[in-house]
Structure formats: C-alpha cells, structure tokens
Structure 1
Amino acid sequence: MMKTIRWGIIGLGKIANSFATDLQQVTGSELYAVASRSQEKADEFGKKYNASKCYSSYEELAEDPQVDAVYIATPHVRHHQDTLLCLTNGKAVLCEKPFAMNLAQVEEMISAAKEKNVLLMEALWTRMMPHFKFVKEELESGKYGAVKTLTADFCFDADFNPEGRLYNKDLGGGSLLDIGIYPVFCALALLGNPEKISAKAKIGKTGVDEEIEITFDYNSGTEAFLSSSILKDTPTIATLICENGMLVLNSKFHHTDKVTAILNGIKVEHDFAYTGKGYYFEIEHFANLLREGEKESPLMSYDFSRTLIKTLDDIREEIGLFYE
C-alpha cells in the first residue's frame, strides 16, 4: 500500500489555492492542515479544500505530529523563517520560489534540513513539468547542435498597489524575484552558469524593480536575453535558436503544454496536455521522494537552488536593488 502523505499549507493566498486544487488530483496525497494568521481565512480555505485542521498560527501547524509535509506559500520575505520553523519540527518542506531572499538564508535552510535529516526542496514547478523535461532532453541529445541564443520573458500588467506583494519592498516586491526568476531559471537549467551577467532595471517609486533586462554571456558564444516586467503584458515565450533548428516553449512558457520544435527544417508541434494547473507534477515528485526516504531532489538539487539564488543576488547587485 502506498503511504498517504498528509500535507499542510502555510500561507493561503492565490498560489496556495492553485496548489490545493491540484493536490486533490494526486494519488496518495491529501490536504490535512492549513494555517493562516486569520482563523476565519484558515477556516474558509480549509472548508473549500476539505482540510481536517485549520490553524490560526503557523507554529500550531508545524507542531502537529500528523503533518508529513508542508508547502510554504507565504510572501518571499517569510520563506526563510517559515521553512526553519517547519524543519525544526521535523517536517519535510516544499518551499515556494524564490527559496529565500538571498544565498545566506538558503544556506541556513539547507544546513537545517541536513541537521534534522528531512527533505527540503524549492518549489519551482516548471522543472518537473513534461514540456520542460522534453526540451532539456532534446538539447542534451545533441541533435539540435549548440544553442546560439535563448530569449525568454515573463511580463504582466499589475495594478499598482504600494502595500501589495508586488510593489512593497518590505515583502520582497519587484519583478525579478516574483517572475524574473523563471527566465533566469530557464537559462541556468538549459544552458548552465554564464561567464558574465549584465542587467539594467527600472526601479519604481516604491524602490522595487518594475522592469528588468538581463543578458547572460557564455564563453561558447551563446547568449541569453531575459526580461521581466510588472508594467506590461507579453506572450511570455522562451525561444532557443540552435545550430540545427529551434525550440519554442509557447505562451506562458513556465507551465505551457505546447512546444514547437524545428529540426533540420522540419516543424513538429508537441502537445503535453495535462489536467489541472500543473502543480500536480511537483507535488507527486516531492511525495515520492518523501516515501522513498530521500532528503534532496535530483531535479531541484541544493546546488541548483544555490546557483539560482546566487545568480539572483548577483543580478540585484548589478541593478542596485537591496532588501533589508
């Protein structure tokens, strides 16, 4: 019999709703507990997704002995402290991206997970999705030849709210950590670490990056052109131009189900149709790791998460964006 993983969710905003929706599809996983700083919000969320326990404090959920795994969906600036809270209580943790605010915090989280001998993973769902696995495997096969350029963007027109998560610097606001992380992830996962990073940004009146343009240069001659914005809408596509063809991760590239492949002049449309919102693959991957007694994901390894946050740190330094 497959062990049922009893999940807890800390932080009950928009992404937690998407996660809870897909969790209902995953065999061998169930939503057991939810936690908000508001009992009313916890009860409302718990009722919607049939949670057994609804807590008004994160500490209560972390201390519940029935919880096997915790999904952390709080604002960026809380990821570090909320992860440490759960790890200290021996819970496996799937923490929403960005893993934390900087490399020092990520190192502390990894050290705590190793000390407690529990599973910890950054929740960057794209890495587990079938379309992204396909593109990575196609490039690694060598048949496309060397990659010449990668162009990837993630932009949307957000309503201006100085107190909201996107514009509030105290909450880790800005485009880079929220959505720019996806183009950066795409380049690192498909091309590796660049030799040179250059970036320029529009810093808004609340002190966060509202738009950013990033270039990765590789010694091989490959270049990656990456951008994000909370001021405009774009199709959000990732395009790889290669020696022998091209691969296009279509609109909403971070969770698309369609990839256009052109190899030696032959065009093929690949459809990776999936049900739900796409969090299914991440949840299933993490739950399987937990059942198997693994402490680290081979797909989102500690080293990759270190590289990702270090790259984001370097980009922020380049544009002069610092958080307290």
Structure 2
Amino acid sequence: MTEQKVRWGILGPGGIAASFAADLPLVPGAELAAVGSRNQQTADAFAERFGFARAHGSYADLAADPDVDVIYIATPHAFHDEAALLCIEAGKSVLVEKPITLDLASAAQLVAAARDKGVFLMEAMWMRLNPAIRKIAELVEDGTIGWVSAIHADFGLQGPFDAEHRLRDPKLGGGALLDLGVYPINLVHLILGAPASVQAWAHLTPERVDENTGILLGYEPGAVAALTCSINGQSRNNATITGTEGRIELPEGFFVPRSFVLRRAGHDPETFDFDFPGSGYQFEAAEVQRCLLAGELESPLMPHATTLEVMTLLDTIREEIGVVY
C-alpha cells in the first residue's frame, strides 16, 4: 500500500458490487485495482465497465494479487465467510457486505482469523457511516432530545417474490431479517446498544424463511424499540427516534438518508440536509481507507464488537421465529 493510495479489489461483481464500484472514485486515494469473479468473462466486463486495472477469473487469483490492499466481499451473504477467509488467509484486508455472515459463530470465526492474521476487517453496514446517521448519533449523545424512550423503524419490499428468488431460499440466507431487518436493528443498536429483552414473531414462507417479521426490543431502564421488516409489502421505510425532550424523524429510505427532521417542544422543526453525490457507499470506503492508512485493524465506527453484538441479536430473533439456514 502506498502512502496515499489504497488499492481496492472487488470479489463478486454483482449488483451491490456495481453500486459500490460506482462510488469508489468519489473517495480520494481510492485506486480501482482488480476485480475477481468465478467467470473470467464476467470479471472482464465488470473491470471494463468501471475501470478496474485487472480482472481475475477466480476468487483465489484476486486474493493472491500482490497489488491489492483491501477486498470488498460482495457475494450473496451465504458465501461471505468462505470468501472473506480466503482473502484474510492471503493477508488481505477485507470489507464484507452486510450481514457479515449468516450467524454469530461464523462471524466470530472471521473476527478471530483477521486478528490472528493482523489484517483489517469491517462489516459493510453503510448506514452507520452515513453523515446524516453520524449527526443523529451526535445529537442523541449530546442529549438534544433527552433520554431516548422509543425507536420505531420499518423496512418492507413489495412482493410477491417467486419461490426461486434468493429472498426465499434458506440456503442463501433468504427472508426479510438478514436483508432488510438488519437496518432497523443496526439503527437501534447504534442509539441504544444491546437490548435486555427480545421478542419476535414472523410469518414464514413455504421454504421456511421469514416474509413478515415484527421485533420488540426492551432496554433498561425502560426504552423500547418496535421494528418490522417484510418481503411481502412496501412499507413506509422510515424511522423515528423519540426522546423525553423531542424526536428525530428519518424519511423514507432511512437506511441511506440525505436529511432528517429534529422536533423539540417550544422550537420550530429543524431540517438537517446532507447533499452528497453518488449512492452513499463512499463513506464506508473512506472509513476503511482512513483505518488502513492509520494502521488500525478495525473501525471505531463499526467495530468487531458491534458486528458480533448485532449477529447475536439476529441469531436470537431467528431462534424465536423458527428460521434455520
């Protein structure tokens, strides 16, 4: 790794990888070094489309590329752990698309492997690196809305999805929870941390993945979070953080917000705007680069402990609703 440049590789050139690659040039010092696919033709096409210097026809070849510093893992999440371990064993730093794995055990294995190898590892929960979300966390920390008593958030996609779709395939970690529910859960975790109580209910598809899920989290000394996620209906996809002295309202698309409204008794509503180019993936990439150039092995904004706490919560919810991958 050069002093100022960070050389990026992308493993798994699918849809999410395309969005990430399109935002990478917005990050100062980001070099589009290489892409790896299971198919050389696919890798070549992706490299040409986004301007990557090299294209590899296997994940192993990408992991072995000496001119790559960090690899973004963008495969379906059922294959994250295998791909990330391959890169970690090759001495590469990794940014792994959310959810980092399917369960806590495999997530803990990745963390242990990265620490043992002395390489950087971060889960790509882009929402937590979004500037609007960072500002909200700052306002809450400063007591702007008082003691946080309740959080409401939902994320639903319009269905129905065919039985063959990945969102209904348990082998691919299908269902609403891991694809969509991770956003409301991460928002709550950012503000309130790990809950004292977890209750969940879900309606399952014939394949036994959740298509409509409700989650109620309880916190000491009395805060609550009510969350929903679904793949059978377009919900409002917004969020509200309520405190004893005001509330923060996140609009539709709360997981990648460009604005929010602060409402407090006795004050006019305040709108905070964050106009940025691209789709918002550049903020997590910039944080990875900052960490790498500073010699840090994990990000203080998305540390390993946060990933493991959220995965613990996801495992608990899955057990309650009866989903097994």
TM-score, structure 1 normalization:
0.97
Aligned-residue offset at 1:2:
4.7
Letter matched to residue 58 of structure 2 = S
Distance 2:69 2:49 in 1: 21
Tell me the secondary structure at the aligned position of residue 315 of structure 1. helix
Instruction: Tell me the equivalent position of 2:295.
Output: 293
The 1-side partners of 2:254 and 2:178 are apart by 17
Contact 1:2–1:28 (CA under 8 A) maintained in structure 2: no
Deviations 1:96-115 (A, max 9, x none): 01011111111111111111
8 Å contact from structure 1 (residues 245, 265) kept in 2 = no
Q: Does 1:186 align with 2:203?
A: no
CA distance in structure 2 between the aligned counterparts of 1:58 and 1:165, rounded to whole angstroms: 21
Displacement of 1:159? 4.9
TM-score for the superposition, normalised by structure 2: 0.97
Say yes or no: does 1:64 pair with 2:71: no
Tell whether 2:15 aligns with 1:14.
yes
Query: Match of 1:154?
Result: 155
Deviation for aligned residue 1:161: 2.8
CA distance in 1, matches of 2:317, 2:84: 24
1:24 is paired with a residue of what secondary structure? Answer: helix
Cα distance in 1 between the residues matched to 2:56 and 2:172: 23
Tell me the CA shift for residue 263 of structure 1.
1.8
- One-letter code aligned to 1:208: V
Aligned to 2:25: 24
Correspondences of 1:31-50 after superposition (within 5 Å): 31-50=32-51
Counterparts of 1:216 and 1:204, CA distance in 2: 24
Q: Which deviations, in whole Å up to 9, do the C-alpha atoms of 1:258-289 show, x marking residues without a partner?
A: 11001223211110111100011110110111
Match of 1:236 in 2: 237
Matches within 5 A, 1:253-272: 253-266=254-267, 267-272=269-274
Q: Is the 8 A contact 2:157 2:235 kept in 1?
A: yes
Partner of 2:54: 53
Contact in 1 for aligned 2:144/2:246 (Cα 8 Å): no
Alignment of 1:1-324 (within 5 A): 2-266=3-267, 267-323=269-325
CA distance in 2, matches of 1:35, 1:47: 13
Conserved in 1, the CA contact under 8 Å of 2:218 and 2:225?
A: yes
Name the aligned partner's letter for residue 277 of structure 2. T
Q: Percent identity?
A: 40
Could you tell me whether the CA contact under 8 Å between 1:34 and 1:51 is conserved in 2?
Answer: yes
- Quick check: 1:138–1:144 contact (8 Å CA) kept in 2? yes
Structure 1 runs, 4 residues or longer, greater than 3 Å off: none
* Most deviating of 63-72 and 160-169: 160-169
Residue ranges of structure 2 left out of the alignment (5+ in a row): none
- Which ranges of structure 1 fall in alignment gaps of 5 or more residues? none
Amino acid at match of 1:106: A
Rounded to whole Å, the distance in 1 between the matches of 2:266 and 2:203 is 39
Q: Is the 8 A contact 2:145 2:242 kept in 1?
A: no
The Cα of 1:183 is off from its aligned counterpart by: 0.3
- Per-residue CA deviations over 1:73-110 (Å, capped at 9, x if unaligned) read 10111111111000000000000010111111111111
What is the deviation of 1:39? 1.7
Separation in 2, partners of 1:62, 1:158? 37
Tell me which amino acid in the other structure corresponds to 2:289.
A
CA deviations on 1:48-89 (whole Å, 9 max, x unpaired) are 001111112111100111110000010111111111000000
The letter for the 1-side match of 2:46 is: F
Residue identity opposite 1:220 in structure 2: P
